[in-house]
Amino acid sequence: MPLNDERPASTSSGEDHSSDVESSSERCDSMTSTSDLDCSRESFTSDCSSTPSSSPPKTLTLDEVMESARDLSNLSFAHEIIVNRNFHLEPESLPQDSLWKVVRDNVHKAFWDILESELNDDPPEYGQAIRLLEEIREILLSFLNPGANRMRTQILEVLDMDLIRQQADKNAVDIQGLASYIITTMGKMCAPVRDEEIKKLRESSDNIVILFREIFRVLDLMKADVVNFKIDNLRPVLQRQSVECERAMFQCILDKTPSALDHTTSWLKSALEELSNNIPTGQTNSPGKGQPVLPGPFQVLNTAFLRILTWQYAKGPLPETLMTDETRLQKIQRQLQQSQAVNEVLLIIYSTIGGPIQGLPALSDRLKRMISVLLDGMHSPDFNQEEALEGVSAQICCELNKSLTERNYPALTSALQATVTGQICSITQKDNPIRTLVEDRVQQYFMALICHPKPQVKLEQVPVGLTAIKPELALMGAKFISLVNYNKTVYGPFYADIIRKLMFSNSPPAANPPQDTTQDSVTSK
């Protein structure tokens, strides 16, 4: 923790909503392209000396499992620092009604009650107070930089526990004086954002027990500041070497846990099977005949990433290579599903009512905001979508009638209102044509982003029928493609190795498949 002139600035926790779209040289190859197949086979079976590799299967001990879990935790932490420029740690806080909070609060209350009881004895007891001072001393020492020898010496002299124990035996401990010194020392060490907290401690007129409770509360804030200061200093280093760093950390996990790519393999295999099943049966592989055309490896990977947008988290975990971004991907998916629902409702309204409400952007914006608000939280377990859509229909009919009558148009008839309501409520059905249309065009939009070498130029080019949610799609598309392209860059060699084995499992794979050509073919297409 730096002193006075180099104290860390204020920190806060938050999700990074300003990620830029990383440049990518992705391109979408034809699934039936012979040149793609030939190029793929060559790059996926060439011999080279360095590639991510998995160890042969082995039985893991409990210690090895725990060590792998720690490695995964470190990888997730490093990834969060790299991709989320606003990532900071906050002092631990538990939900108000949680059992852990009740237990923790009761344990803390018992400690402070014992301390107060001991200090109020005649003569006072200092057992709890001494343990408290010992902990405070260690915390203050942990804040010091290696070269802060003078302050270290001063803290050790003032909070000399042997001397304090001797004073306690003679009932001569100046608790108030020690508290004052601790607060002064904290003021020299804390970040500027904590100056107001230190001022309150200095001006506190509470009893000594309450004062020490507040001291510990501010020390917890300072500990978070120290960690966040280190994160801010570490972030540029990690970002400069982010790809190599994350890849090496994951390779370390793979070396210890050979099954660490099982879900990733299943994910890519499923995408390959989906593409293979969609190949026209009449096509053959050149130069031989009778062999089905294999999809290109780039298509396999792009198709796999597209499926993440519709991933069913309740049925299975994400691929291991995407778990560090699970929260971000799930948030994008939920926002996308809500935007799709909003778009579906708007399409139904405008196709049903027609001319009287066309060309009124203000009305369109009001309807869009209304639908978004009423469908907010649609992913929560207790959300009743059918009931919510009925409410949406009622509110929309009221708003439309108001707009129509203001412009001297007749209000909606009961029959037309019933038709609108029925069509809106029907979008919960999987085979609803409006829902299918919107979902297909959203998939087209995201596939175009994934395949294009410069996806940022495609962000504003939404398919026909999706213009109502164009701003939302552009924002979600930018976030998604940024995650996808970074993930491809980091894990490209692993994906290449898996796809090569899946596509050419009938022919013996190279012992050491190429890193350079394979990685380039997967991450630069």
- Encode pLDDT of 5-44 as tens digits: 444 443 344 444 344 334 333 333 333 333 343 344 444 4
- Domain co-membership, 350 together with 484: yes
What gap in Å lies between CA 370 and CA 387, rounded to an integer? 15
Tell whether 333 and 454 lie within a shared domain. yes
- Of 481, 487, 505, 53, the closest CA to residue 273 belongs to 505
**Which pLDDT score, from 0 to 100, does residue 512 have?**
39
DSSP for 175-211 reads HHHHHHHHHHHHHHHS-GGGHHHHHHHHT--S-HHHH
pLDDT in tens, 377-399: 888 888 888 889 999 999 999 99
Q: How confident is the model at residue 508 (pLDDT cuts 50, 70, 90)?
A: very low
Are 351 and 225 part of one and the same domain? no
CA triplet 67, 71, 76: central angle to 5 degrees? 145
Q: In terms of domains, do 332 and 457 share one?
A: yes
Question: Of all residues in the chain, what percent carry a pLDDT higher than 90?
Answer: 39
Q: Does residue 91 lie in a domain region?
A: no
Residue 373: pLDDT band with limits 50, 70, 90: very high
Any idea what the Cα angle at residue 54 is, between residues 313 and 507, rounded to 5°?
100
59 in any annotated domain = no
Residue 191, both tokens: 């970040």
pLDDT digits (tens, 9 = 90+) for 399-435: 999 999 998 889 989 999 999 999 999 999 988 999 9
Name the band, by pLDDT with cuts 50, 70 and 90, for residue 96: low
Q: CA-CA distances (angstroms) from residue 226 to 90, 215, 235?
A: 11, 16, 14
CA distance 350 to 403: 14
203 within some domain: yes
Q: Does residue 123 have a cis peptide bond before it, meaning omega lies within 30 degrees of 0?
A: yes
Q: What is the pLDDT of residue 52?
A: 58
pLDDT at 426: 92
Q: Is the domain of 210 the same as that of 329?
A: no
Q: Which pLDDT score, from 0 to 100, does residue 305 have?
A: 96
Does residue 352 sit in the same domain as residue 479?
A: yes
Q: How far apart are CA 310 and CA 473, in angstroms?
A: 15
Q: Look at residue 170 and tell me if it is in a domain.
A: yes
The confidence band for 114, taking pLDDT boundaries of 50, 70 and 90, is confident
pLDDT, tens digit, 9 for 90 and up, residues 273-322: 988 887 665 554 445 555 556 788 899 999 999 999 999 988 889 999 99
pLDDT digits (tens, 9 = 90+) for 127-183: 888 889 999 999 999 998 888 889 999 999 999 999 999 998 888 888 889 999 999
Structural domains in the chain (count):
2
DSSP state of 379: T
Nearest to 28, CA basis, from 300, 304, 298, 305? 298
Q: Is the pLDDT of residue 101 over 70?
A: no
In eight-state DSSP terms, residue 134 is H
Q: Do 345 and 487 fall into the same domain?
A: yes
Helices (H), 3-123: 34-45, 62-83, 99-120
269 within domain boundaries: no
CA distance 74 to 77: 5
Chosen domain end from 206, 232, 258: 232
Most confident of 51-65, 87-101, 282-296, 310-324: 310-324
DSSP 20: P
At 508 the three-state DSSP class reads coil
Instruction: For residue 29, give Cα distances in angstroms to 39, 305, 309, 521.
Output: 12, 15, 21, 12
Buried b / exposed e along 340-374 (16+ C-beta atoms within 10 A):
bbbbbbbbbbeeebeeebeeeeebbeebbebbbeb
In which band, very low, low, confident or very high, does the pLDDT at 497 lie, cut at 50, 70 and 90? very high
User: Within this chain, do residues 211 and 333 fall inside the same structural domain, yes or no?
Assistant: no
Final residue before a domain boundary, out of 204, 232, 260: 232
More confident residue, 243 or 320: 320
Last residue of a domain, one of 217, 232, 247: 232
Q: What is the pLDDT of residues 160-175, one digit of tens each?
A: 999 999 998 888 888 8
Classify residue 310: in a domain, yes or no: no
Q: What is the structure's pLDDT at 23? A: 37
Give the ranges where 407-509 is alpha helix by DSSP (H): 414-425, 433-451, 470-503
Shared-domain flag, residues 219 and 362: no
Give me the mean pLDDT over the 313-336 stretch.
91
Q: Work out the angle between the directed axes of helices 516-523 and 34-45 (0-180°, nearest 10).
A: 140
Q: Are residues 216 and 331 in the same domain?
A: no
The reply to whether 413 falls in a domain is yes
Per DSSP, the three-state class of 431 is coil
Residues 179 and 327 in one domain: no
**Residue 87 counted as domain residue:** no
Domain residues for the domain of 211 are 99-232
